[in-house]
Structure 1
């Protein structure tokens, strides 16, 4: 028998082109009739769903050949397998955009295919599948089509496209991506202006649900198997995904009144985590490929396929039981979920009167996360942030070249502190908040909100800002409460910050909840309560809840934060402002642009107007978790602040 070997879709190419292994319901009315799932989603039991009546369509993209990247051998064949599966499941039409016919796959063809399916407004479900080369840029996945990277415009911005998909009027949109998610070192791709958006801008702002099936974790490659005797190579994740419907575990199957067995979207995660890893390990004992599944449709009548049992020959085993595979980042995510389940009232009811129960899940987050190379946790007892008597910022891990403030804000000279930190105090005069530009010795710069009753603490690693936190000023009532609960607050925000960097801070997605407890509800209430102590936690909560598409909770966090601080933070208004009248940003937000890097995907998706200097600086955003501009963009913003063009 030919020996199995593995081929990665992230493969060595010429140096200048290498992809790096770097750090990481609406009810729709059309012609007077409502879509089936849209009408059922509010009240119908799952057994009432008739798969034969569902109106479902798909666009299937498979790209083996790109311009100057290594040739893949399993992307097109995997796309053909997916096409056949979807046709069998009643998706009609299934639009194949696959390069095995020799035709280049270009962005405009993908957009036109998607737009044609969206326009009638009569679909219950739309599925977008991609297999090919991919990378991450600005915390957004990008799919590489035939003309890239020579033509950097021939990439699909997945997050921006998914953001528009949330408002397209189709009750359930599904993205399936079997592609690498490593950062790019390709100079032709690093300066892309956000990639191509393949969903039309509807302007309706009435939201539907979008589910994600990513074949690998952020920052990691995806692989394809290659057997010498096989006619086709196969993507590990695509094969695992299709196998879900042939040999699922018993608790994944839901039986309809008509006797058909379906596999709901929300019940697939654990199987895919296991099956993908098992397949990878069979080919290479040291290989790890961990999918990321974020399913927000927490009902059993939303599904992609039926259970069609595979034919088992003599001696062939049936479905394997769930193995004990607990990848570290999954453990972190699980532990954070446990933290979220503590409600504010529960915590306040503890006999020690603390805001947070000691030990338990939070300590497990520390124990696991400290072993992960890409997670940035700090032992606060050893590196405690000092209390300050005035607003300002402390920087750790990098020197300060300059700090630029708008008119009316006075800055003290940088003051060296212990452990290589530097502090800058700010006098806001009558203002409650202002945006300063913090330029590091490397020339990279960070727009930062300075708040009247808070001191900011910024941690830098390399050219990336990996952590921002705020502490109440000394002598204030908030400082006294903060100090009394410091251990618990520091534990929570360090763990959450680490999870954000690893893209594991996601709640309400694929968790298969059977109880009435809603971790997202507890999370929103808990973090909203924390906004007066550290506004960063409000941002973390809002982004996590937005990823879970919990819009009411996002709005609650934003409202509570604004009431507590007296100012509106740009990111919170951005995430909570998408309403029936479209997204309109008021003046006076701090900072003057998204503070957290994923916010730029929302800005780009909706073409939200930005001040001219910010638009000019946008191409120079880096892949830092927080918004950091390369020197070219830093100079643009610095000049604009000095000239009074930015508040």
Structure 2
């Protein structure tokens, strides 16, 4: 079995500002991995060239279809966006053709059936939010061939150059004035990833198997804590105002790696791993409840993390007393349900949506905010839904028992709010999940709670790291899901109830699975999904809400999955 790498470097993407280190970064990584024994394929826009989706698909197909690859690295350097939970890579003509975009998140799922045991995706690209309406409705292309090989448990590791919402930086390499402009710039992340394999600290090295032979490698799990500090330190060395912290989402075991350690003639001075680890603190959830599940947060992020978490947590004074919903953060212009009558009571930035208390299945409520954006709210029997809305979209949704069903559950209601806001914040910061262990730990710890929000967050974590098969054992314990189920759960379980709701995904993540797992969702609803804000929970742009209204007029909001 061999190792293969596909390197993509694009300095130019239509109307976007030109980059200076994407092509050189791809070439540099290609040379490094080739020296490591990888068979490499390089795609760049050097010398006025262009790279299109069909070029990338053809290159991957030629690698995967041979069936003799044990490790595949896909490296991209260029412009990127983060639309909801969708990581987007922009190819040469992306500004003029929305089909010239690669959706990393969807391709992670496609890679799971490619038959290659280890897939490593390395993205040296920004993860900024879309800046225009056309960018916000961008969905991405699939590049992995449909191999449908389920015989291999594929592990997909993701190395992102920066955290969600942040830029991936290029800096001057300090070379002389005689060098070309592009040669004098490097991507901080790419350069650091290469350098960390040169004369690495001994604590980073461990046994691995390469093409059937025992060897040693720089272990990915060791890099997870170290690499963010190395990259951020290099940014700070350039300017105190610069920040960049990579994010590693790992599914590999302890023997996961990208390359072996190498040596330099003079050696490289480097802080030890133990010195760098001390910069990480843990903000822990209620330990007595969640069995020591915790979220590591870099100290310099603590203030912004806590601020976001506090905003995402519904005020206890506003917890619902009846079956219905409360929307906090954006004034609601209008609301309706295709299922029941809805009463709307508005008070500034807080809106109460009232329905009858005796509903027996999940209902859909469409709420349009005064700025034209909006959302589809799910109301679960015997529960009140609280929706926390930020300017960028919905940050958190809490399903808690309606007051008439508290009966000694008040402490649990408070715990639900604390736990949900913590996970919502971690997910918005790109800190959850960062490994299969993270996802499984949270799913295991939250399994005994009979709460739809925690179930959805657990499902989100399992799906993100390729553990959809674990969802059924989680939901089997949820009493509320026996009589009816939320759309997202039904889709991932492949089991639909006539009482399932609401009529579209609640989580932005779920939209990536519609194409493969659903065939009869009405076109207007599918198209509305392309007009979403970059938020954890589905929040439609004004154009998306117009399409939902069109679906209402066409009688499509009460569709049923066959």
Q: Above 0.5 in TM-score?
A: yes
Inter-partner Cα distance in structure 1 for 2:425 and 2:65:
41
Aligned to 1:414: 344
Inter-partner Cα distance in structure 2 for 1:205 and 1:432:
35
Which deviates further from its counterpart, 154-163 or 365-374?
365-374
Instruction: Tell me by how many angstroms 1:205 deviates.
Output: 5.1
Aligned to 1:388: 321
Aligned to 2:143: 198
Aligned to 1:467: 396
> Residues 272 and 443 of structure 1: is their aligned pair in 2 closer, same or farther, counting only changes over 3 Å?
same
Q: What are the superposed Cα offsets for residues 472-528 of structure 1, whole Å, 9 maximum, x if unpaired?
A: 12232xx1343034443332222112222222121535xxxxxxxx66444213322
> Residues 374 and 122 of structure 1: is their aligned pair in 2 closer, same or farther, counting only changes over 3 Å?
farther
Aligned to 2:530, which of 595, 603, 619?
619
Tell me whether 1:59 sits opposite 2:6 in the alignment: yes
Aligned to 1:159: 105
> Residues 361 and 141 of structure 1: is their aligned pair in 2 closer, same or farther, counting only changes over 3 Å?
closer
Ranges in structure 1 where 5+ consecutive residues have no aligned partner: 1-53, 348-354, 510-517, 578-583
Instruction: Tell me by how many angstroms 1:216 deviates.
Output: 0.8
Aligned to 1:245: 197
Aligned to 1:304: 258
> Residues 184 and 501 of structure 1: is their aligned pair in 2 closer, same or farther, counting only changes over 3 Å?
same
Give the conservation status (yes or no) of the 8 Å contact 1:201–1:606. no
Aligned to 1:189: 135
Matches within 5 A, 1:188-337: 188-192=134-138, 194-204=139-149, 207-226=153-172, 227=174, 229=176, 231=179, 232=183, 233-255=185-207, 260-300=215-255, 302-312=256-266, 317-322=268-273, 331=281, 334-336=282-284
Tell me whether 1:150 sits opposite 2:105 in the alignment: no
> Residues 604 and 183 of structure 1: is their aligned pair in 2 closer, same or farther, counting only changes over 3 Å?
farther
Tell me whether 1:629 sits opposite 2:540 in the alignment: yes
Ranges in structure 2 where 5+ consecutive residues have no aligned partner: none
Instruction: Tell me by how many angstroms 1:238 deviates.
Output: 0.6
Aligned residues: 548
> Residues 501 and 89 of structure 1: is their aligned pair in 2 closer, same or farther, counting only changes over 3 Å?
same
Instruction: Tell me by how many angstroms 1:210 deviates.
Output: 0.4
Give the conservation status (yes or no) of the 8 Å contact 1:370–1:377. no
Alignment partner of 2:395: what SS? strand
Aligned to 1:77: 24
Give the conservation status (yes or no) of the 8 Å contact 1:469–1:536. yes
Q: What are the superposed Cα offsets for residues 224-271 of structure 1, whole Å, 9 maximum, x if unpaired?
A: 121351731211111111112112221111246978431233222223
Inter-partner Cα distance in structure 2 for 1:326 and 1:253:
16
Give the conservation status (yes or no) of the 8 Å contact 1:216–1:222. yes
Give the conservation status (yes or no) of the 8 Å contact 2:459–2:471. yes
Inter-partner Cα distance in structure 1 for 2:147 and 2:214:
38
Give the conservation status (yes or no) of the 8 Å contact 2:531–2:541. yes
Inter-partner Cα distance in structure 2 for 1:67 and 1:104:
10
Give the conservation status (yes or no) of the 8 Å contact 1:392–1:450. yes
Instruction: Tell me by how many angstroms 1:450 deviates.
Output: 1.2
> Residues 624 and 367 of structure 1: is their aligned pair in 2 closer, same or farther, counting only changes over 3 Å?
same
Aligned to 1:496, which of 420, 423, 430?
423
Inter-partner Cα distance in structure 1 for 2:230 and 2:87:
23
Which deviates further from its counterpart, 71-80 or 256-265?
256-265
Alignment partner of 1:619: what SS? coil
Aligned to 1:484, which of 411, 415, 420?
411
Inter-partner Cα distance in structure 2 for 1:259 and 1:414:
66
Inter-partner Cα distance in structure 2 for 1:197 and 1:277:
32
Give the conservation status (yes or no) of the 8 Å contact 1:398–1:460. yes
Instruction: Tell me by how many angstroms 1:75 deviates.
Output: 1.0
Inter-partner Cα distance in structure 2 for 1:357 and 1:299:
23
Give the conservation status (yes or no) of the 8 Å contact 1:136–1:181. yes
Aligned to 1:544: 461
Give the conservation status (yes or no) of the 8 Å contact 1:375–1:499. no
Instruction: Tell me by how many angstroms 1:430 deviates.
Output: 5.7
Tell me whether 1:123 sits opposite 2:34 in the alignment: no
Inter-partner Cα distance in structure 2 for 1:365 and 1:268:
15
TM norm structure 2: 0.88
Inter-partner Cα distance in structure 2 for 1:626 and 1:115:
33
Give the conservation status (yes or no) of the 8 Å contact 1:266–1:296. no
Give the conservation status (yes or no) of the 8 Å contact 1:459–1:466. yes
Tell me whether 1:590 sits opposite 2:535 in the alignment: no
Inter-partner Cα distance in structure 2 for 1:244 and 1:132:
22
Inter-partner Cα distance in structure 2 for 1:620 and 1:549:
26
Inter-partner Cα distance in structure 1 for 2:146 and 2:360:
37
Inter-partner Cα distance in structure 2 for 1:256 and 1:599:
35
Aligned to 2:59: 113
> Residues 596 and 357 of structure 1: is their aligned pair in 2 closer, same or farther, counting only changes over 3 Å?
same
TM norm structure 1: 0.77
> Residues 117 and 188 of structure 1: is their aligned pair in 2 closer, same or farther, counting only changes over 3 Å?
same
Give the conservation status (yes or no) of the 8 Å contact 2:375–2:540. yes
> Residues 222 and 165 of structure 1: is their aligned pair in 2 closer, same or farther, counting only changes over 3 Å?
same
Aligned to 2:330: 398
Alignment partner of 1:335: what SS? strand
Aligned to 1:640, which of 539, 547, 551?
551
